Chains A and B, each alone.
Chain A
């Protein structure tokens, strides 16, 4: 998206934008492509987050995307687990799953995460905090 088109969207659609710079229209387009095949509740939460910027929804999307990529299903939904749950040791989230998950998350939130940042993420809390730092409401709807 160019700056010009973003400005156009801001004026016409009265949307909220985030640091990752994405709009509701973009979010729906990204959901159709990048989240194709994901559980419907993850897609719904993502669209809702694009609309209202509620950080609780952001957490839900991040956990939903992570859960979808785990090599083996977790014993219970990640949303019901404690924040100290370890990604590798407790969830079996190997490096392949982590990279796959981050590619999807980066794409739908329009952010980039470095390898150094990734290395410091070891628990669910780390992961959620990481995304909350990068994907925060920026300029509210104009």
Chain B
């Protein structure tokens, strides 16, 4: 690979995998994105107790609600060997299945996956639920019973530990912990690894364990929607939004050097042109009201990619449906686009899925890849009365039957970390 210069090396999305609230494969996700079919439904965070948060973006056809892996269930086509199963967190089941999809989609052989030319970048919050159950067992037994895989299955690196070992990945393996910007940042660094000739391909995996232990803590800062209506609770950019709706599951994107993917006959959903990042330097939890970090991140991504704001057809926003976060992003978008006379369509697919925390970036970038390859622009579900902060932005409420050529995707996380990436429609 070193014979090719950094600038000539192109990076494409050559494999996708989804276990999400709106579908468990590419076809179903594409259909539900285009038709605006929501994955959000009523959800009991603490059965038997009337909590103020009652909806979530749930994963269908899987059951990982039990305390032990022995009781977890997944659809028949997937075979999960015991030697990996015993160390997985609940959402590791979703990540494993999404990996299987992406590998099959990309037509990769086991030897190609298990090679020094393949990297694996992951993010998740680990499994606070499994950690709680393990710690309860340790305390209840006065330290006599320590479940042996507690650390491997519960801490933030659990997906990279398990997946790299199972698939024999021997290239760069790393975990990212920039909260909701994690997997978008992982895509950025994965892009760099390929452009620099260090890896031929990098899997980027995000996953979260939907449940009280992972999600309900956000209620403490009143960041979760208390709207009990699944059809209206997640409403990014709406004047009446009152917080985000949690979701879990997993998504996988395979980034790959374009010639390598083409030689294998792998699909090309999108070309990643570049990325940018910048931080607010403002608050550990709140976005800067003027969107300063996100403005810089978007400008860095556009500049690196050699694209102007006016050329962007669609922005997949981070907008989670929180009052402060969406307003900050709207200000940033107006600064970068509206002020420059550019009017891309802007939407947040979280109206359909809910917010997947560190999963969100890779899941939504996957949505963008599907939009580019299938020729449509997703709308923002449940948007009835746009926030005045969005004045000047083009906010489609339903899918637009128009093929975008260039997409910019935003993610923002705790600590004011902001990441933007630019994707281009594949050449036919």
Contacts from A to B (Cβ < 8 Å): 33, 35-38, 68-73, 95-97, 99-100, 103, 112
Contacts and interface: CB of A to CB of B under 8 A. Distances in A.
B148 interface: yes
B71 A36 contact: yes
Nearest to A99: B148
Chain B interface, >50% SS class: loop
Contacts of B83: 71-72
Interface string B61-77: 00000111111110000
Contacts of B69: 37
Nearest to A39: B70
A35 B69 CA distance: 11
Contact of A37 (B71, B81, B147, B149): B71
Contact of B145 (A71, A97, A103): A103
A71 B71 CA distance: 16
B70 A70 contact: no
B86 interface: yes
Contacts of B68: 36-37
B269 to A, nearest CB: 36
A36 B65 CA distance: 12
Contact of B66 (A37, A69, A70, A97): A37
A100 B152 CA distance: 14
Contact of B86 (A33, A71, A95, A112): A71
Interface of B: 66-73, 81-83, 86, 144-145, 147-149
A112 B144 contact: yes
Given A35-B70, A71-B83, 20 more contacts: A36-B66, A36-B68, A36-B70, A36-B71, A37-B68, A37-B73, A68-B70, A69-B82, A69-B86, A70-B82, A72-B81, A72-B83, A73-B82, A95-B148, A96-B86, A97-B82, A99-B148, A100-B86, A100-B147, A100-B148
16 contacts: A35-B70, A36-B70, A37-B68, A37-B69, A37-B71, A69-B82, A71-B82, A72-B82, A72-B83, A73-B82, A95-B148, A96-B86, A97-B86, A99-B148, A100-B147, A103-B147
Nearest to B145: A103
Contacts of B66: 36-37
Contacts of A112: 144
A33 B149 CA distance: 19
Contacts of A72: 81-83
Nearest to B83: A71
Query: Which 8 residue pairs are nearest across A and B when measured between Cβ atoms?
Result: A37-B71, A37-B70, A71-B83, A36-B71, A99-B148, A96-B148, A71-B82, A36-B66
Contacts of B71: 36-37
B195 to A, nearest CB: 39
A96 B149 contact: yes
Contacts of A36: 66-68, 70-71
Contact of A71 (B70, B73, B81): B81
A36 B71 CA distance: 5
Among B72, B144, B148, B149, chain A packs the most CB atoms within 10 A around the CB of B148
A37 B82 contact: no
Contacts of A69: 82, 86
B42 to A, nearest CB: 24
Nearest to A107: B145
A97 B149 CA distance: 10
Contacts of A71: 81-83, 86
A85 to B, nearest CB: 18
A71 B145 CA distance: 21
Contacts of A95: 148
Nearest to A94: B83
Among A33, A37, A97, A99, chain B packs the most CB atoms within 10 A around the CB of A37
Contacts of A96: 86, 148-149
A90 to B, nearest CB: 16
Given A72-B81, A99-B148, A100-B148, A38 B70 contact: yes
A112 B144 CA distance: 10
A72 B80 CA distance: 11
Contacts of B82: 69-73, 97
Contacts of A99: 148
A70 B66 CA distance: 20
A70 B145 CA distance: 20
A35 B86 CA distance: 15
Nearest to A103: B145
A45 to B, nearest CB: 16
A35 B71 CA distance: 8
A37 B72 contact: yes
A134 to B, nearest CB: 16
Nearest to A35: B70
A96 B165 CA distance: 16
A100 B81 CA distance: 16
Nearest to A38: B70
Nearest to B82: A71
A135 B274 CA distance: 64
